[in-house]
Amino acid sequence: MNYTTALNLAPGKAICYSGFREGQRPGGVVPSYEEIKEDLFMLHNNWQYLRLYDCDPHAETVLEVIEKEKLNFKIMLGAYIVAEANNYGCPWGGTYAEEQLEKNKLINLKQIQKLIDLANKYPDIICCLSAGNEACVDWTDHYVPVQNVIEYVRMIKREAKQPVTFCENYLPWLDKLKDLVEEVDFISIHTYPVWEYKRIHEAMEYTKQNYYAVADTYPNKPVVITEAGWTTFSNGKGICPSNVNEEFQRIYFNDLVDWSEEAHILTFVFEAFDESWKGSNEALEPEKHWGLFTVDRKPKKVMQELLGN
């Protein structure tokens, strides 16, 4: 189903944006108004849609910059919900004391309410809402039971007018999230061929398989890709270093954008800028290197091409 008619969104290019620079991180030092303004001026000629993950001070500043500088962005705003149940299958630790899990439920309720409040404050900028991110997949460290996510979706839909989704890896949508499909206005999937050991020549076909596996299962529900990308470095843990570099990122990006436009699929490229706070302390940790720009805002090969450098 075409997102432009189903969700009343104009066709446009989309990218995930998180503006944390060197020495900054969620819950710590956050980007200033001027830093975010610099980022958004770098992005506004090439993208019309931005995805934000959290209703935190960073997101509030992004919305403020867009409004005050009169930038032509539409925002997918997410609530970042934290663990409400233990996930013993998480390789890096998804277990918590019961007391903490109860506190987390209150944190999540506040986060959902903040999402609603911002959606109502910026109705002309925020075009759609997400009730969470990767909180139901088997490996997550912030596991939230599907029924709880359904309740959050219902809360949002009662109090905000924008279309509502939940962002998750493509695989859980095929079975685990079937009940959630009935509740959301559209399905949001993540597809990462490089994390599933695909080489660059296999990557685009695999992304298409991931997308159509979900879209064909739910033909009456629009499906959006809210994350797809290619990292440029790896320390060898989970991704073979020889399978990632700036040239492969350029190839995957161009193929992804071309196909998305031809097939009329809204696809948020992951991501605008490298984020050095992510993952382990190892410099080549792949989580740090998905940006089309480095953390110090230098364009990688794909952006050099787009910018005509």
* pLDDT, mean of residues 132-161: 98
Strand intervals (E) in the chain: 14-16, 49-52, 74-78, 126-133, 164-169, 187-190, 223-228, 267-269
Contacts of 205 (CB under 8 A, 6+ apart): none
> Does pLDDT of 183 surpass 80?
yes
- 8 A C-beta contact, residue 112 and residue 155: yes
How many C-beta atoms surround the C-beta of residue 45 within 10 A?
9
- Per-residue pLDDT, 211: 98
Please say if the pLDDT value at position 57 is more than 80. yes
Burial bucket for residue 93 (CB in 10 Å: 0-12, 13-18, 19+): exposed
Q: Kindly state the average pLDDT of the residues 281-308.
A: 97
Strands 267-269 and 14-16: parallel
pLDDT band at residue 7 under the 50/70/90 scheme: confident
| Cα separation, 31 vs 61, whole angstroms | 8
Of 305 and 2, the one with more pLDDT: 305
Map residue 102 onto helix, strand or coil: helix
Find the mean pLDDT for residues 102-120. Answer: 98
Tokens of 199: 């080489």
Whether 79 contacts 21, CB under 8 Å: no
> What secondary structure does DSSP assign to 251-270, as a single string?
HHHHHHHHHHHHHT--EEES
Percent over 70 (pLDDT), the chain: 100
Kindly state the tokens that stand for 109: 């309720």
* Distance of alpha carbon 259 from alpha carbon 267, whole angstroms: 10
What is the pLDDT averaged over residues 203-216? 98
User: What distance in Å separates the CA atoms of residue 207 and residue 192, rounded to the nearest whole number?
Assistant: 7
pLDDT of residue 6: 78
Mean of pLDDT values over 284-303: 98
Q: Indicate the fold that domain 3-307 takes in CATH.
A: TIM Barrel (3.20.20)
Q: What is the pLDDT of residue 195?
A: 98
How far apart CA 34 and CA 103 sit, in angstroms, is: 34
Q: What is the pTM of this model?
A: 0.97
pLDDT category at 8 given cuts 50, 70, 90 is confident
* pLDDT, averaged across the chain: 97
Q: Is residue 308's pLDDT more than 80?
A: yes
Task: Provide mean pLDDT across the span 22-37.
Answer: 97
- Evaluate whether 94 touches 88 at the Cβ level (below 8 Å): yes
Residue type, 91: P
Mean pLDDT of 174-193: 98
* Helix 200-217 / helix 246-263 crossing angle, nearest 10 deg: 30
Which pLDDT score is estimated for 5?
Answer: 74
Q: What is the pLDDT of residue 184?
A: 98
